[in-house]
Amino acid sequence: MEISEIKQRLTLLNVLSHYHLKPDRNNRLCCPFHPDKTPSFQVYPETGTWTCFSSNCSAGSGDQVDFIMRKEGITKHEAILKAQGLMGVTGDPGPMNTKLAPEKKFIQELTPDKRTEILTEAFTHFARSLNKRPENAIKYLESRRLDYKRLSIGFDAGTLHKIKETTPEQKQLYLQAGLLKLDKFGRDNSYYTRFKGCIVFPLLDRSKNIVSMYGRHTEKPEHHYLEGDHRGLYPGYPDAETTRLILTEAVIDAATLQQLPEITKNFIILALYGTNGFTEDHRKAITELKDLKEVILFFDGDEAGKAAIKNIAGELKQISEKLLITVVDTPEGEDINSLAQGHDSEIFSHLLENRKSFFLSIETPSVENKKVQGSTSINLPESQSKGTLKVNPDCLIYETETLLITLWGGIEIHTVNRLRITLHIKLKTNEYASFRDTADLYSNGQSDRLVKQAAEKLEISSTVVGEAITGLTKELEIYRSVKREEKRKSEEVKEKQSKDLFGHIQMQAAKEFLNSPDLTENTYKLFGSLGLIGEQDSATLLFFIFLTRFFKNPLHAIVMGSTGSGKTYLLQGVAGTVPRQHIHVTTSLSENTLYYTPRDFLKHKILLQEDLDGAYSALLPLRELMSNQEISRFSTKTNSRTGDSKQVYLHVEGPVCVAGATTRDKIYEDNANRSFLIQVEENPSHERQVLEYQGKLAAGLINFKRYDENINLLKVCQLLIEPVEVIIPFAPKLELPPHVFKKMRTKNHYLTLIKSITLWNQHQRKRVTDHDGNSFLLSTLEDVEWANYLSRDVLLRKSDELSGKTRQFFESLKEYIKELKTKSFYAKDIRRHFRMHPMELQRRLNDIEARGLVRCVSRSNKPGNEYEIMIWNDYDELRSGIDIMCEILENLKKENESSHDLHTTFTSPVVKVENATR
């Protein structure tokens, strides 16, 4: 048995346990090889190595076999036999034949049939996990435009070994199959799943059995395979009668095409495992296709993809010279899946129809003379290095003819001014000769010291070590460049995913919708079909408030309601109709976050604070941002090297539309009068409607596809809106109700709302230009009518002395007293009827009593206080004040001047009227 196999089966922690030694939580213990009071013996469970750092100890470093050899005082060969004895392997076990029971389970390797059975069982669990629609998995699949109902995929939620049905024997089988991994401390019964957080794709053999798996992480730019060589194919072995085969660069690309019937009915799809991922299974599968006429290479539109086309074409030509090889011209910087995200499926048919033949411009080297490399290897030209760099999850391995160099922990990717490594150099001819050190390869002094000391320790020529280190440095530089490029592309993809992209058909539908004659009414109806039950008016108002982000001075909104009343649901529902690139959603906001935001980060955006309590420390700068559309301050920055301080001017610009929700009954006045205060419905009728909708939702009676279509329609329409200034010709004749507080600011809000409705209807409104060439839209009376309708409750609330919740209580109290047909009432009866907390009831009664709306007839501890309503029509008076807006609108309609006359009066000789429809 080889030492590498012993290390794999017998962990260092098990060896220490055999000698009754247990490391502390920092993996340290008192050294067993010398008197030691302070723990100086460091254990590294991940690498299976140990080191004694005491200057009084000559043990140095070693592995499992070295520990046994020193502990028993025996030779290396005897230590190996001893290790075999600890594992229970036949041989000379030595004087102590103690066997570690848990390790027995790993002795017998899985048979192919058993492995398939285990993988199938695990994938069934993954598929069931995905059917539960976990939020992060579904969101990832939607961003990737993958339909899990059409694809055979699953999701690893990390629960494979945690379900009740999983026995200890099954866990061991999962561990053998590579589906589970021991935690980094090697503790018993402590595992984590290899594909945790990944969408899992099954890789199949010729009999359509699962022989391996591939995972794509939903939150990180990572992909994972089972350990060992790639086995199996995705989506499976091609049928024997295949005539046209599409090869994709990645599994996710193949899955993207696999769900398109117009592609699968004409082509068979097969995924490679990266640009270097043409395996022996691929070769055999293609060789066996006797009827195969054409292979289509559909790779990424980057340099790596173009280089891979040439390599794979050479492989295919070795299989059959008669094989027609064609290439799809993928747009620059795109791949199959990114095309699916930004375009309709017709683009794939178009690209495949325009594929081109591939002709080798140079002679392809013989495949027999090439060493087939896996997707985790990077090779340099022979003139630069004779070594090969292999990438593992925990380390990088560089191999030359003489040396095997392992770099534990890899290298820093984000820095290019240093190349610091922790390496372990071994001689291939003598596995017991090794050297460990840490050095910066960009430091001449450290590199020379490394070469010299390694050569002395390994007893080889310093020239051999120097050449290996030089080759390693070049390989690492290439590896780092590749990784930095991958990270850059990943960030670009992530940036693309943060934007809503739509196809030609969706754009055309949005243009038709924007050109509809009754656009505002159609928009209002659309919000009535988005599941915002009973909140159609408030949702439409919020939508037009959000639309003011295109203006220099946008509006702001605060949605108010008690806990569980649906205020956040309303806010999120309307925010969901806004393109993702136009909105920033946050649950917490600090003052520093606002001031250190990039200067244009908030410009013409919506800042959505889901709960205003999360922005308590930022209310002052937030208020100034709402009013002035910019904030600034001086700050001090200290130079970390010199210690000098200097003044830094922080400046953040808008315009930005701020919205949030709160459960507070009263809001700080300076924040409230800068915003539209929207109170959610909290009456029994609304509650019944919501409960009925929830029942339909649970019964599967809601058409979510229609929801998504309507939401996407509104998103596309906003992307097509052209920011234009708006003028209201009849603004001087518009008035607010007489009881409205803060009239100057409220009047400006009201006029801005009219402008927002006009902007939305820009294709139906007349456009004028002044003598400087500036373009304007002219509002109509229809826009005023809709603004009056949508803002009536908000203006009524701004006219009311009572808060929203207190007003609801008082109006409900009036209705109840009318039902009782009595003049007075007791507080305890009201509390019992409305099921209110005594303290809340007392606050409400004190509030309306202080304003003279009720009076206390008698106060008594025994029967309780007796009250009487003094004013019954206060709310009716406020409502009648709102009617003035309708009267003004009717008068404008009755005036002899038509809307055209109003426009002409405004335009004068220097203004040119353009066509309403463009």
CATH of the domain at 315: 3.40.1360.10
Same domain (yes/no): 728, 709: no
Query: 759-817, pLDDT tens digit by residue?
Result: 999 999 999 988 888 899 999 999 999 999 999 888 877 777 787 788 888 888 998 89
How far apart are the C-alpha atoms of 294 and 309, rounded to whole Å?
A: 15
Query: 587-626, pLDDT tens digit by residue?
Result: 888 888 888 888 888 999 999 988 888 777 788 888 888 8
- Across 732-771, b (16+ Cβ under 10 Å) vs e yields eebebbebbeeeeebeebbbbbbbbbbbbbbbbbbbbeee
Residues 6+ apart with CB under 8 A from 2: none
Instruction: Report CA 647 to chain centroid distance, whole Å.
Output: 37
Same domain (yes/no): 207, 269: no
Distances (CA, A) of 738 to 181, 318, 806: 73, 88, 22
Same domain (yes/no): 144, 200: yes
How far apart are the C-alpha atoms of 70 and 34, rounded to whole Å?
A: 11
Q: How many domains does the chain have?
A: 6
Query: 854-866, pLDDT tens digit by residue?
Result: 999 888 877 788 8
For residues 878 and 795, the answer to whether their CB atoms sit within 8 Å is: no
Same domain (yes/no): 590, 449: no
Same domain (yes/no): 664, 613: yes
Higher pLDDT, 98 or 453: 453
Q: Is the peptide bond before 381 cis (omega within 30 degrees of 0)?
A: no
In the predicted model, what is the mean pLDDT of residues 455-464?
A: 89
Q: What is the DSSP letter of 428?
A: S
3-class SS of residue 614: helix
Enumerate the H helices of 354-461 as residue ranges. 444-458
How far apart are the C-alpha atoms of 657 and 549, rounded to whole Å?
A: 5
Chosen domain end from 497, 515, 530: 497
Phi, psi for 623 (deg, rounded to 5): -65, -40
Distances (CA, A) of 600 to 474, 630, 631, 747: 41, 10, 12, 29
For residues 50 and 44, the answer to whether their CB atoms sit within 8 Å is: yes
Q: What is the DSSP letter of 606?
A: E
Banded model confidence at residue 93, pLDDT cuts 50, 70, 90:
very low
Tokens 């596809």, residue?
Answer: 705
Q: Is the peptide bond before 221 cis (omega within 30 degrees of 0)?
A: no
Same domain (yes/no): 510, 656: yes
How far apart are the C-alpha atoms of 123 and 193, rounded to whole Å?
A: 13
pLDDT at 578 over 90: yes
In the predicted model, what is the mean pLDDT of residues 217-225?
A: 86
pLDDT of residue 132: 86
| 687 C-beta neighbours (distance < 10 Å), count | 15
- pLDDT, averaged across the chain: 83
pLDDT at 250 over 80: yes
How far apart are the C-alpha atoms of 71 and 345, rounded to whole Å?
A: 67
Same domain (yes/no): 193, 158: yes
How far apart are the C-alpha atoms of 913 and 918, rounded to whole Å?
A: 13
CATH number, domain at 94? Answer: 3.90.580.10
pLDDT of residue 157: 87
pLDDT of residue 756: 96
Phi, psi for 677 (deg, rounded to 5): -95, 115
Phi, psi for 507 (deg, rounded to 5): -60, -45
Query: 878-893, pLDDT tens digit by residue?
Result: 777 777 888 888 888 8
For residues 243 and 294, the answer to whether their CB atoms sit within 8 Å is: yes
Count helices and strands (H / E) in the chain. 32, 35
Question: 673: domain range?
Answer: 505-719
Strands 725-727 and 656-662: unpaired
What is the token pair recorded at 119? 């993988």
Handedness of CA 238, 241, 247, 252 (dihedral sign): negative
Distances (CA, A) of 173 to 114, 179, 209, 590, 799: 9, 9, 18, 50, 71
In the predicted model, what is the mean pLDDT of residues 718-739?
A: 90
| 267 C-beta neighbours (distance < 10 Å), count | 19
DSSP 225-262: E-SSS--SBSS-PPPTT--EEEEESSHHHHHHHHT-HH
Q: What is the DSSP letter of 28?
A: E
Chosen domain end from 187, 207, 232: 232
Q: What is the DSSP letter of 689?
A: H
Angle CA(234)–CA(238)–CA(242) in degrees, nearest 5?
A: 145
pLDDT of residue 865: 87
pLDDT of residue 318: 86
Same domain (yes/no): 470, 487: yes
Query: 615-656, pLDDT tens digit by residue?
Result: 777 888 888 888 888 888 888 888 766 778 888 888 888 899
pLDDT of residue 107: 39
Dihedral angle computed from the Cα positions of residues 647, 648, 649 and 654, in that order, rounded to the nearest 10 degrees: -160
Banded model confidence at residue 753, pLDDT cuts 50, 70, 90:
very high
Distances (CA, A) of 382 to 278, 365, 386, 464, 878: 22, 15, 6, 16, 88
- Across 872-895, b (16+ Cβ under 10 Å) vs e yields eebbeebeebbeebeebbeebeee
What is the token pair recorded at 744? 């100057």
Residues 6+ apart with CB under 8 A from 509: 713, 716
pLDDT at 178 over 80: yes
Same domain (yes/no): 791, 845: yes
Q: What percent of the chain has pLDDT over 70?
A: 90
Higher pLDDT, 184 or 49: 49
Handedness of CA 826, 832, 834, 836 (dihedral sign): positive
How far apart are the C-alpha atoms of 689 and 685, rounded to whole Å?
A: 6
pLDDT at 102 over 50: no
How far apart are the C-alpha atoms of 435 and 457, rounded to whole Å?
A: 7
Banded model confidence at residue 180, pLDDT cuts 50, 70, 90:
confident
Tokens 């043409």, residue?
Answer: 278
pLDDT of residue 913: 37
Q: What percent of the chain has pLDDT over 90?
A: 27
Same domain (yes/no): 448, 514: no
pLDDT at 100 over 60: no
Distances (CA, A) of 825 to 805, 817, 847, 849, 887: 20, 8, 17, 14, 39
pLDDT of residue 729: 92
Nearest to 341 by CA among 141, 155, 511, 578: 141
Chosen domain end from 692, 719, 746: 719
Q: In 730-790, where do the E strands start and end? A: 767-769, 775-778
How far apart are the C-alpha atoms of 395 and 476, rounded to whole Å?
A: 12
Q: In 90-197, where do the E strands start and end? A: 154-155, 180-182, 191-193
In the predicted model, what is the mean pLDDT of residues 479-484?
A: 89
Q: What is the DSSP letter of 331?
A: P
What is the token pair recorded at 605? 């955006």
What is the token pair recorded at 811? 């109006």
Q: In 235-337, where do the E strands start and end? A: 244-248, 268-271, 294-298, 324-327
pLDDT of residue 238: 92
Dmax over CA atoms of the chain, in Å, equals: 115
pLDDT of residue 788: 92
In the predicted model, what is the mean pLDDT of residues 331-335?
A: 86
Enumerate the H helices of 459-535 as residue ranges. 462-497, 504-514, 519-527
> 316 - beta bridge partners?
none
For residues 750 and 790, the answer to whether their CB atoms sit within 8 Å is: no
Residues 6+ apart with CB under 8 A from 638: 644, 645
Instruction: Report CA 496 to chain centroid distance, whole Å.
Output: 12
Query: 887-910, pLDDT tens digit by residue?
Result: 888 888 888 455 444 443 333 333
Distances (CA, A) of 528 to 286, 515, 516, 793, 800: 55, 20, 18, 18, 28
Higher pLDDT, 45 or 524: 524
Distances (CA, A) of 185 to 106, 192, 406, 621: 18, 12, 21, 48
Same domain (yes/no): 833, 878: yes
Q: What is the reported pTM?
A: 0.52
Provide the terminal-to-terminal Cα distance of the chain, rounded to the nearest Å.
Answer: 82
Same domain (yes/no): 853, 894: yes
